[in-house]
Structure 1
C-alpha cells in the first residue's frame, strides 16, 4: 500500500506583490456551477430575471485554461449543483430560495422554456454549458449547498488524488465559489481563486469584497493566463 510520490513540478504565480509557488503534481482545479441553470440564457437564473451575462464571461478564459491544465495532468473537477429528484436532501430553508410562496419556479420544478427540472442531477439544467464540455477524464461532483464539501465526496476525491493546492473558478464567486474555497481552507488545503475565471451576477462590490477576503483570510488570488505562462516557462 505504498504510494510513490510524483516528482515536484513547481510553477510560480503572482498575487499583486506576492510570489506564490505551487506544485502542479499536487494541484487540481475546481470549476463551480458553470451549468445551464446559472449561465445559459434559457436557464433558471435567466428565467427569474437575472442577467447571466457576467456568469458567461468566464467561459472564454476557461476554454483557454483547461486544455493547458489537462496537458499537465492537473485534475479538472466540475462541481455543479445537482439535487436528488425527490429533493429529500434539501431542508425547507434551501427549498424556500426563489420560491417563497411555493408557487414559483423553485428548485426541482420544471423550467417553462424546456421542462428541465431546476438544479436536478442529470437534467439539462444541472449540466455544464455546451461551450465547456467536460472531457472523459474530468471528474464530476454534485453538490446541494453553497459549499461543495458539505455532504459530498469531494474531500475524499481530492485526498485520493493527493491534492494539496486547489485552483477555484466559476460562479458565483461571492457565493458557492467562496463558500467552497473557505471550507477547503478550513480542511487544510491551499487555495487560489482565479480572478479571470471567476465571476458573479451580484453587484460589483460583492466581487471586490470576495477578492479582499480571499487574500486577507483564506489564500491567494491568481490569474489563468499567468498559470499558462508559468506552465510554458517550466516546460
Structure 2
C-alpha cells in the first residue's frame, strides 16, 4: 500500500510573516497571505483606509532622558511635561494594537559608550560649547550616561510598559533608519503601513516618518501619541507637512474605534 509522505519541510526565516519552507528535496518560497483587515480613519474629512494585517506601530524616543523629571532634557532646563503627554494615549492604544496583531517597535536612542557612532555635528546640537552635559556624559543626579544603550537614561520612559513580543531598535541620530536594522525588520514583518508616535514630534518623529515615506511606506502620524517641547508653531508645521507631503494624520481614539470594527 502506497503511503503519502508526511510534509517534513521546516520553516526558515526570522518572522512567521516572511519565511520559506525547506527540506532536502524542496524549497517553497510561498508566504502565507494574511486576510486583509481594513480599518478606516478620517483626516480632515477624507477617509483613509489601511490594512491592519500589514501595519506596524513605531514609537520614537519615549525615553527617560526626554520624559522623566530626572532625565537629560529636564536637567538642561527643558519643560518635559509636554513630552509626557503621549504616555496616557499610548497606554490606551498599544495594548489594543498588540491584541490586533500589530507589531510595536520602540525606536530609541541607544549610543555606544565611546560615542564612535556620533559625529561632532550631532554632539553639538545639545552641547554647543562642549562644556555642558551632552550625549554620553553622566547625569549629575543619577550618573547615568545620557542616551547610552543599556543606561537608565536611555530606558523606555517610566509609566510605559513593553511586551516581550515588542521589537526594540537602537538609533543614533534624528531618523530611526540610517545605520539601523529598522527597514530590514519592517520588511521581514511584511508591513506596508506605519503608525508613528513619540517625541519630539517635529524632530525625531518627523525625520523617521519622512525617511519611511522616502522608502515607500504608507505613513500615519498618531497626533495624540506625539508631543514636542518645541514652540507650538513647530507642531503646527509638522502636522501641515505630514499632510502635505509625507502621509496622513489620525489619533488614538479613531484607531481604537476602527480596531473594534475589525
Q: Which TM-score applies when normalising by structure 2?
A: 0.88
State which of 195, 216, 219 in structure 1 corresponds to 2:223: 195
- Using the TM superposition, give the Cα deviation of residue 129 of structure 1 relative to its aligned residue in structure 2, in angstroms: 1.1
SS at match of 1:135: coil
SS at match of 2:195: strand
Match of 1:41 in 2: 69
Match of 2:20 in 1: none
- Residues 13-32 of structure 1: matches in 2 within 5 Å? 13-32=41-60
- Using the TM superposition, give the Cα deviation of residue 111 of structure 1 relative to its aligned residue in structure 2, in angstroms: 0.1
What CA distance in whole angstroms lies between the structure 1 residues aligned with 2:78 and 2:234?
16
Count of aligned residue pairs for this structure pair: 234
Match of 1:133 in 2: 161
What CA distance in whole angstroms lies between the structure 2 residues aligned with 1:187 and 1:23?
18
Gaps of 5+ in 2: 1-28
- Using the TM superposition, give the Cα deviation of residue 212 of structure 1 relative to its aligned residue in structure 2, in angstroms: 0.3
- Residues 129-168 of structure 1: matches in 2 within 5 Å? 129-168=157-196
Q: CA RMSD, aligned part only?
A: 0.7
Match of 1:111 in 2: 139
Match of 1:226 in 2: 254
Match of 2:151 in 1: 123
What CA distance in whole angstroms lies between the structure 2 residues aligned with 1:108 and 1:200?
22
- Using the TM superposition, give the Cα deviation of residue 100 of structure 1 relative to its aligned residue in structure 2, in angstroms: 2.0
SS at match of 1:13: strand
SS at match of 1:126: coil
Match of 2:12 in 1: none
What CA distance in whole angstroms lies between the structure 2 residues aligned with 1:180 and 1:170?
11
What CA distance in whole angstroms lies between the structure 2 residues aligned with 1:199 and 1:131?
16
SS at match of 1:130: coil
- Using the TM superposition, give the Cα deviation of residue 185 of structure 1 relative to its aligned residue in structure 2, in angstroms: 0.2
Gaps of 5+ in 1: none
SS at match of 2:173: coil
